Amino acid sequence: ALCNAHLHTLVQEKNVQLDQAYSKLKDGYLEMISAIRRIVDAKDIYTRGHSDRVSRYAVLIARKMGRDRRYCEQIRIAGLFHDVGKLSIPDEILRKNARLTDEEYEVIKTHSRNGADILSHITQFHAILPAVLSHHERYDGKGYPDGLKGEEIPIAAQVVAMADVYDALVSERVYKKAFSHEKAIEMILNGECGVFNPILLGCLVDIQDRLKEELQSGFQKKKNEDLYPVLSEEIKEETEK
């Protein structure tokens, strides 16, 4: 009996140690995510906060699709890092205060493949590589970098792509004014920003009121704030529902 009690105590102690080790690993992972996200934001001052918003919108779409908590977490991280490849783009192109030339746009288009390559060196990010690589593919095959079409495009990439386009439309850029929420939804549904999966278009229609609430609540305007902790807690709460 004494041996069993001692063994039970040792097992409990090891479990505590494992929990503590896991907690430290998780904290380190979250810190790495936050650090990389800040680096991307610092690189492209004109779209600061964009990745946070894309992450948020993508999770809303994924939840509407009925995806589980683990999938939503992957979508969240993919949204945060979808533009990490822009770290490889020269500043004179990335920060150009005007429309890009055709040649410059070809350079910009390398960011999705470069981003996947950067993240491929970190084991924890392997699950999101397809979304990062293919988030500029389009359902009709007219996207990049590989010209994938229809179901050839990973669904996670399609989700991030829709969130990416929506935020680009409702955000002010150096070359355009921000469109209203209503106009942005209309443009996406009419195919003015490329062709999207009909299933995702249905999800977009279903969550359009929620997206509008996000804009009206000021989420869109918080470009210079650290949104990561807020996103993390909100998404955790929502995916547990």
**Residues designated as active site:** 86
The letter for the amino acid at 189 is L
Q: Write the CB contacts of 150 (distance below 8 Å, at least 6 apart in sequence).
A: 139, 141
Would you give the end-to-end CA distance of the chain in angstroms? 44
The 10 Å Cβ neighbour count of residue 78 is 29
Q: Count Cβ atoms within 10 A of the Cβ of residue 182 and give its class: 0-12 exposed, 13-18 middle, 19 or more buried.
A: exposed
Cα–Cα dist 6/57, whole Å = 51
Contact call for residues 203 and 64 (beta carbons, < 8 A): yes
